Amino acid sequence: MLRTRSAVALFAGALLGAVLTVTNLAQATVAPQAKPSTTADHSKFKELQKQFKTGPEVTKACLVCHTEAAKQVHRTKHWTWEFINTEKNQKLGKKNVLNNFCISIPQNQQYCTNCHVGYGWKDKNFDFTSEENVDCLVCHDTTLTYVKQPGMAGHVVGEEMEFPKGSGKILKPINLSKIAQGVGKSSRETCGNCHFFGGGGDGVKHGDLDSSLFAPEKDVDVHMAVDGLNFNCGTCHQTSSHDVPGSRYTPTAKDKGGAQIRGKSEGENPATCVACHDTKPHKAEKSKHAARLNVHAEKLACQTCHIPAFARGGVATKMSWDWSTAGQMDAEGKPIVKKDDHGNTLYESRKGDFVVAENVKPEYYWFNGGITYTLLGDKIEKGDKPVGINKIEGSATDGKSMIWPFKVSRGKQPYDPENHTLITPHTTGPKSGGGYWTNYDWDRAARQGMADAGAPFSGKIDFVSTEMYWPIAHMVAPKDKSVGCAECHAKDGRLAGIKGIYIPGRDANPLIDKAAWLLALLTLLGVLGHAAIRIFASKKH
Amino acid sequence: MVERVYIFKRFERFWHWAQAALIMFLLLTGFEIHGTYSNFGFERAVEFHTIAAWSLVGLWTFAVFWHLTTGEWKQYIPTTQRVTEMVRFYAFGIFKGEAHPFKQTVLSKHNPLQRLAYLGVLLVMNPLIWTSGWFLLFYGSWASWGFPNLSLELVATAHVIGAFMILLFLIVHVYLTTTGHTPLAHIKAMITGWEEKH
């Protein structure tokens, strides 16, 4: 193979030589090889030169050299799916929070833990101290062939097997030794395989994270553009000791730290815009309004102007999920699936009605990074206002807030009208398991889901409107595509609902305006009247 | 042969008309920024307003220099003499075809009412519009100037009040140009510099 390549190169070189000068020929044939980014070639490691049948076998081999790696991973949210928000005194993390998409995890672990960085989390007895159950490959695969099979609690198929058992479906194995020998840094692909598909499908949950970011154009994401800066996730989410910075539970709403300097930025979030661009990012040589825009940057998150819309890469995001309409069947009693022209599901008997959208203008709110979740067991009231699955905090005056763009996912989901709590239904799994997606039986799904969660259930089910706030931080557009002045400096602009600041073009003192225009009108009438009398009087003379 | 007096010097006439054009353009772009109507679009309106404002600053620098060096600033010294006569003229006399009670001369080209009006411009309107406008031009520097908590609403509202005063002034000022011996006599004088004596 190598020989053929050099032969081709020589041939090409000879061809070029016919037209180019000798110097150019020399350059063309002796092109320097790209430096490898690592000092270790894992394919040369004895530990990895064998057939692996399971994921944990590979992990054990990794740990021979990377002795502390599993312990590091054990401390992360990626492993625990738990996060303690000390400020709000709430136990959060994927394991504990609810959302208004698939609602919650504990009842549906075998499926959801497909995105856990571990092997075998199928129920609450999972051993979180097990080192061999850490999944190294899901983040470090470079071959793009590593696949975790849904329904197998995060396990991979190392040998040919029938799954589900008795179904007659045979799953082909993946080549674990090839994958293990090829390990490297995490990539857009490894991160994206879970994070681009949050909420159970491409782009469903976040709106600013979807498969278009695997290889975006500049217009979709100016940093990740393959024809531009070509960032991967880790370029901003700069990770050390397996701690990936950037949190959805305690986001950095206002980064006062400025650009990060080596030795001076310990413990600061490196994933903010400010971490690179500083707090006065607009430069006079590049923008005619630099000073003015830098003042804007004191109140507006960079994202507010620089992400004009989310879901810009051609993948629709789910804006609303109404569980209350689930369960309708066609004339023959069979489940229904309705799709739009682009293949997006609009109704599914298993799930209810969806609203999907592309190129969505965000909603804007003051945000200081404070988020409180409505957790299972928290009392809720069904009223005129939707229940906030999470509630964001912020104001014009607290000194910590910026105006941020949000995706707000809205919907209706089951709740217990007697206990006044949300319900975590069991959805996934085989028919015998009682999941809603196979049985279409809310009572059974709720009863079982609540029992699994150890939460009381009155037996009554109603549906309540909910909303959930997702700060938008990805899909930064090129600067010429950022939000223009007039989109906010207008009466019904993007910031129409933002209180506590004066926006020229949007705001005016109505009393002064009215009085002054009246006065101007009276003055005009006055001089016109004066003129009329003059004309009339001159004719009389 | 009608007697003519050379009242308005060449620079003075240039100053007047350039300033008139700038002020009207500032009113147009300003009210667009204020959100009253839409023409250039907010961003360009701000840019044009800024350019016009700086042009006016430049023009004023020359005008102030000219007034000081020529002594013409004395024309603006206010007087209360014969104000009542002036008011009576505009309220009644003008309708009866009476002669204007004020005779323009090179040394005194503004009538007493005019002098009072310009005093108001100098003491109220200009400080209001220029101070607030200067702050708005340097919106990014308030903190470094020592006004970190200055309210944009306050400054913007002051600027808007100033703008309305200018609008009112403009309406009356333009109308009063028609009160010469012919409706266009004053305007002609402001163009040619020569005022006919009647």
| pLDDT tens per residue across span A242-262 | 999 998 999 999 999 899 998
pLDDT at B110: 84
Q: Do B41 and A486 touch (CB under 8 A)?
A: yes
Which chain B residues are within 8 Å of A534, Cβ to Cβ? 94-95
Give yes or no for a contact between A405 and A360, defined as CB atoms under 8 angstroms apart. no
Greatest mean pLDDT among A141-155, A508-522, B81-95 lies in A508-522
Radius of gyration (C-alpha) of chain A in whole angstroms = 29
| A500 belongs to a structural domain | no
Most confident of A491-500, B4-13, B139-148: A491-500
pLDDT band at A4 (very low <50, low <70, confident <90, very high): very low
Q: What is the dihedral of CA A364, A369, A372, A375, to 10 degrees?
A: 100
Cβ-based neighbour number of residue A533 at 10 Å: 12
What local confidence, expressed as pLDDT, does residue A353 receive?
97
Residue numbers of the domain that contains A4:
1-32
Q: Is the per-residue pLDDT at A11 higher than 90?
A: no
If you measure CA to CA, which chain B residue comes closest to A491? B35
The answer to whether residue A33 scores a pLDDT higher than 50 is yes
Q: How far apart are CA B115 and CA B87, in angstroms?
A: 13
Residue A288 predicted with pLDDT over 90: no
Average pLDDT over residues B189-198: 85
In chain A, what percentage of residues exceed pLDDT 90?
Answer: 79
Per-residue pLDDT of A348-402, as tens digits, reads: 999 999 999 999 999 999 999 999 999 999 999 999 999 999 999 999 999 999 9
How sure is the predictor about B1, in pLDDT bands with cuts at 50, 70 and 90? Answer: low
> What is the distance in angstroms between the Cα of A127 and the nearest Cα belonging to chain B?
55
Which residue type sits at A164? P
* Phi (first) and psi of residue A356, to 5 degrees: -115, 155
- Distance from the Cα of B92 to chain A's closest Cα (Å) equals 10
DSSP-derived 3-state class of residue A465: strand
Distance, in Å, from the CA atom of A8 to the CA atom of A378, rounded to the nearest integer, reads: 69
Chain A residues near residue B35 by CB distance under 8 angstroms: 489-491, 504-508
Return the structure tokens found at B58: 């430049």
CA atoms in the 13 A half-sphere facing the CB of A169: 7
Q: How many domains does chain A have?
A: 2
Tokens of A433: 């398991």
Rounded Cα–Cα distance for residues A138 and A156 (Å): 10
The number of angstroms, rounded, from the C-alpha of A323 to the middle of its chain's C-alpha atoms is 22
| Residue A9 confidence (pLDDT) | 46
Q: Report pTM.
A: 0.89
pLDDT score of A30: 53
pLDDT value, residue A541: 61
pLDDT for A35: 72
Q: Is residue A299 less than 8 Å (CB to CB) from chain B? A: no
What's the confidence (pLDDT) of residue A316?
A: 97
B35–A533: do the CB atoms touch at under 8 Å? Answer: no
Give me the mean pLDDT over the A507-513 stretch: 95
- Put simply, the chain B residues between 81 and 110 with a CB less than 8 A from any chain A CB are 90, 94-97
Give B162→chain A minimum CA distance, Å: 10
- Token representation of residue A243: 């701690």
Nearest CA in chain A to B40: A486
To the nearest 5 percent, what fractions of chain A are helix, strand and coil?
30, 15, 55
pLDDT at residue number B102: 81
Residue B86 pLDDT level (bands cut at 50, 70, 90):
confident
Q: Token digits for A217?
A: 């154009």
Residue A29 has pLDDT above 70, yes or no: no
- Looking at residue B115, its pLDDT comes to 87
Comparing B27 with A247, the larger pLDDT belongs to B27
CA A421 to chain B, closest CA, distance in angstroms equals 44
Cβ count near B184 (within 10 Å): 11
For B135-189, what is each residue's pLDDT tens digit?
999 988 888 899 988 999 999 999 999 999 999 999 999 999 998 888 898 899 9
Closest partner residue to B43 (CB to CB) among A484, A506, A516 is A484
Task: Please check whether residue A25 lies inside any domain of the structure.
Answer: yes
Question: What number of CA atoms fall less than 13 Å from residue A231's CA on the CB side?
Answer: 17
pLDDT at site A165 = 82
Domain boundaries, chain B: 4-115+177-196
Two tokens at A50? 């064998």
| Non-local CB neighbours of A319 within 8 Å, separated by 6+ positions | A355, A356, A357, A360, A407, A409, A410
| CB-based contact A203:A196 (threshold 8 Å) | yes
Q: Please, are residues A403 and A446 in contact by the beta-carbon 8 Å criterion? A: no
Task: Report the range of poorest mean pLDDT among A194-203, A272-281, A469-478, B79-88.
Answer: B79-88
Nearest to A415 by CA among A452, A454, A374: A374
Mean pLDDT estimate for chain A:
91
Name which of A159-173, A229-243, B102-116 the model is least confident about.
Answer: B102-116
Distance CA A345, CA A328 (A): 15
**Distance from A149 to chain B by nearest Cα, in Å?**
53
Predicted confidence at residue A12, as pLDDT, reads 46
Q: Do B35 and A508 count as a contact with CB atoms less than 8 A apart?
A: yes
Of A112, A313, A310, A93, nearest to A199 by C-alpha is A112
